[in-house]
Amino acid sequence: MSAIAFTTVIRFRALALYALQHGIQSPEATQWISQVCRYRKMDADHQLGQRIHVFGNSCSGKSTLAALLAERMNYPLVELDAINWQPNWVGLNATDPTEFERRIAHATSGDRWVVAGSYSRFSQNVFWPKLETLVWLDLPMPKLVARMLRRSWRRWRTGELLWGTNREDFWAQLKFWHGEESLLWWIVTQHERKRRQTLAWQQEERWQHIRFVQLTSTRAVDRFAESVPAA
């Protein structure tokens, strides 16, 4: 058993046993027990499957981990941000959602891939029905904010080119009052909502074919990455 699988199973087993011993009948108790079964299953076959989605809040490290998994497993990498963002920060998700879905469907039409990004509505519509593993990067909000500040500052200072023609404006990311135009706004306002939403999805019948792997620290992410064997 890998280190990350072992620690995760122990954590959820303890919670599940506590729930059973104390007669706790709640969604949380059901979730804990379900998680134990899912992690046991993942460890038993030592497989992530052939269709993997690395998912999480802004600045959680989705692209980095997805690229590492794709390289190690020799699978195509699909970056949803690269598909979505057009010149001058025009997003297909807002301006042409039908075309965005078409491009995602084309990119995930093969049997093997690792997808990086969230865009949950589009992901669920297009490729979650055939998804095998969701790797959920559920890092603490302070960690995400610190990463956002460092990354955005670096990109702004170096003039790093993003997805062909776009460059990031560091100061714009700090303007919380501008709502969706600010990465800081996204991280702070969406963090808890995304957590509740993702936990709820795990209980939905339509997603029971998906293994949910929840990683809650950078150490857990590193251990998980190390546990994935090279192709």
Is the pLDDT assigned to residue 64 strictly greater than 90? Answer: yes
pTM surpassing 0.85? no
| pLDDT value for 170 | 64
Per-residue pLDDT tens digits for 136-186: 999 998 888 888 788 787 777 887 777 767 877 766 767 766 666 767 776
Catalogue the E-assigned strands of 57-131. 77-79, 85-86, 90-91, 113-116
Per-residue pLDDT tens digits for 10-53: 345 445 544 545 555 555 555 555 554 454 444 433 479 999 99
- Which one, of 94, 147, 96, 137, lies nearest residue 116 by Cα? 137
Location of structure tokens 């941000």 = 81
Distance CA 102, CA 105 (A): 5
- Which one, of 230, 195, 211, 226, lies nearest residue 4 by Cα? 226
3-state helix, strand, coil in the chain (%, to 5): 65, 15, 25
Please give the backbone phi and psi of residue 2, each rounded to the nearest 5 degrees, phi first. -70, 160
**How many angstroms separate the Cα of 2 from the Cα of each of 64, 132, 160, 202, 222?**
21, 19, 37, 23, 12
- % pLDDT > 70, the chain: 74
Q: 112: phi > 0 → left, psi -120 to 50 → alpha, else beta; which?
A: beta
What is the pLDDT averaged over residues 71-89? Answer: 93
Q: What is the dihedral of CA 91, 92, 95, 98, to 10 degrees?
A: -160
- Which amino acid type is present at position 137? L
Distance CA 53, CA 66 (A): 8
| pLDDT value for 27 | 55
| pLDDT value for 44 | 34
Distance CA 221, CA 213 (A): 10
